[in-house]
Amino acid sequence: MLATTLFMAPGVAMAQSAWWTPPSWLATPVAQPVTGLYLSGGAGWNHADKRNATSDGGANGFFDATVGNRQGSFKFSEGWGGQVAVGWGFGNGLRAEVEGNFRDNPTSNVGGWSSRGVGSTSGNFFSGTGRMRQYGVMVNGYYDFQLPAWFPNMPIPVVPYVGGGVGWIWTDLDNVGGTRVNSVGRPGDTITVDDTAGAFGYQGIAGLAFPIPAVPGLSLTAEYRYLGTLQTKYDGVVRTASGQVPTRGKFEIDGANNHSAMLGLRYALWTPPAPVAAPPVVPQAPQAVARTYLVFFDWDRYNLTDRARQIITEAAQNARSTGSTRIEVAGHADRSGTPQYNMGLSRRRADAVAAELVRQGIQRSEITVEAFGESRPLVPTADGVREPQNRRVEIVLR
């Protein structure tokens, strides 16, 4: 890793190496990784897949020992779900959290159990009744990415992330069932499952976070979640058309498979706000020589080290103390890439430095940002050469 290097000359400062330089797909001044405690929550649409069921042997009717035709299924309409979580960000893209979740889907259809019936010849079912509610606790891990340097500039900050988790999910089948048609077209047997059971749960998550610049630490999230559980048994009954209960037993029901799309918010606590701009300073006499600061970057990188931030902080402090009215920020690149790529890379470097100046209290209106790509090398080189001194941003105080 090439670190930024510090040297001082009259009016010139350069950034030196820190112990670690984050890769370009981690932190940037626009969207820093979460550090410390955070809270999150979201809600949205939930689709629950069909759950196949088998009436367990051991009783009469639906639940006798005959294997054939003991299979059926429950289908569910579209529903909704939500989740809340408390977590910890480690500052390097990794996060861990504990989540509580809830999902609710009404029953739409019951099918199967062909030739199974009590009292009357069996037929098809009417539409389903009841609803399935799922709730549980999960332990999740996440990784936040930063868009690479070659990715086109986005109009707003965005941080993709992926995650997964395990935990325990309780499923409440609240009067889930249906009434079938008898041989003369009238209501016949009614299947009802009214029970709650828990099972091991697992999930995968992919999403996008959109930091809100006006509120430090607050991000809007949009994500897809898959949640599954293992197979579980539930108590059920079969009633005749007159309401009698001639048979009861267990339904062995496949694990749940949920697909959710959720919108939410995540708030990292105690994120420091951008410094308040210092009161206007009485203009001083113009400096005879403009002060220039140089910040160097690693090859194909535009992120800032801690030392680089110290240099930019010094530039911001001097801009206020000397009464500078204009700050020029110019990005440059070496000749190891194409001219088009280097132009975009130099723009990202310049934007990163400008964003840090603003964070240090400099008004954005006082900053001009330019990108020159590989057109103005500090050290002339042949095409394709990785020259460290050409990977820089110049800060000039006027």
Taking only the tens place, the pLDDT of each residue in 212-265 is: 989 999 999 999 999 999 999 999 888 877 777 777 888 899 999 999 999 999
Comparing 19-28, 165-174, 343-352, 360-369, which segment has the lowest mean pLDDT?
19-28
Scan for tokens 């290097």, then name that residue.
Answer: 5
- Identify which of 306, 285, 295 has the alpha carbon closest to the alpha carbon of residue 395: 295
Comparing 140-144, 168-172, 202-206, 380-384, which segment has the lowest mean pLDDT?
380-384
Whether domain 8-25+275-397 has CATH 3.30.565.10 = no
Q: How confident is the model at residue 300 (pLDDT cuts 50, 70, 90)?
A: confident
Higher pLDDT, 329 or 20: 329
As a whole number, mean pLDDT of residues 140-146 equals 95
Opening angle at CA 346, ends 383 and 339, nearest 5: 35
> From the CB of residue 136, how many other CB atoms can be counted at a distance below 10 Å?
22
Higher pLDDT, 115 or 352: 352
> From the CB of residue 147, how many other CB atoms can be counted at a distance below 10 Å?
18
Most confident of 28-42, 79-93, 138-152, 292-306: 79-93
- pTM reported for the whole predicted model: 0.61
Q: pLDDT digits over 258-298, tens only?
A: 999 999 999 999 887 756 667 777 776 555 467 888 888 88
As a whole number, mean pLDDT of residues 331-351 equals 89
Tell me, what's the pLDDT at 25? 40
Higher pLDDT, 138 or 10: 138
As a whole number, mean pLDDT of residues 50-79 equals 77
Three state DSSP letters for the chain: CCCCCCCEECCEEECCCCCCCCCCCCCCCCCCCCEEEEEEEEEEEEEECCEEEEECCCCCHHHCCCCCCCEEEEEECCEEEEEEEEEEEECCCEEEEEEEEEEEEEEEEEEECCCCCCCCCCCCECECEEEEEEEEEEEEEEEECCCCCCCCCCCCCCEEEEEEEEEEEEEEEEEEEEEEECCCCCEEEEEEEEEEEEEEEEEEEEEEEEECCCCCCEEEEEEEEEEEECCEEEEEEEECCCCCCCEEEEEEECCCEEEEEEEEEEEECCCCCCCCCCCCCCCCCCCCCCEEEEEECCCCCCCCCHHHHHHHHHHHHHHHHCCCCCEEEEECCCCCCCHHHHHHHHHHHHHHHHHHHHHCCCCHHHEEEEECCCCCCCCCCCCCCCCHHHCEEEEEEC
The yes-or-no verdict on residue 210 having pLDDT over 90 is yes
| Identity of the residue numbered 192 | T
Most confident of 7-21, 62-76, 235-249, 341-355: 341-355
The topology under which CATH files domain 35-268 is Porin (2.40.160)
CA distance 357 to 337: 28
Give the residues across from 251 on adjacent strands: 55, 234
Report the share of the chain in percent with pLDDT over 90. 39
Higher pLDDT, 316 or 163: 163
The yes-or-no verdict on residue 131 having pLDDT over 80 is yes
Domain ranges of the chain: 8-25+275-397, 35-268
First vs last C-alpha separation in the chain: 33
| Identity of the residue numbered 244 | Q
Q: Are 303 and 26 in contact (CB under 8 A)?
A: yes
Report the share of the chain in percent with pLDDT over 70. 82
Q: pLDDT digits over 176-187, tens only?
A: 988 877 655 566
Tell me, what's the pLDDT at 99? 99
Q: Average pLDDT, whole number, for the chain? A: 83
- Identify which of 398, 396, 327 has the alpha carbon closest to the alpha carbon of residue 361: 327
As a whole number, mean pLDDT of residues 127-146 equals 95
Tell me, what's the pLDDT at 310? 83
CA distance 292 to 177: 76
Tell me, what's the pLDDT at 14? 41
- Identify which of 321, 364, 377, 371 has the alpha carbon closest to the alpha carbon of residue 346: 371
CA distances to 134, 173, 296, 372, 397 from 76, in Å: 13, 11, 58, 59, 65
Opening angle at CA 88, ends 85 and 90, nearest 5: 150
Tell me, what's the pLDDT at 66? 59
CA distance 89 to 268: 8
Q: Are 335 and 383 in contact (CB under 8 A)?
A: yes
Q: How confident is the model at residue 151 (pLDDT cuts 50, 70, 90)?
A: confident
Give the residues across from 156 on adjacent strands: none
As a whole number, mean pLDDT of residues 71-99 equals 95
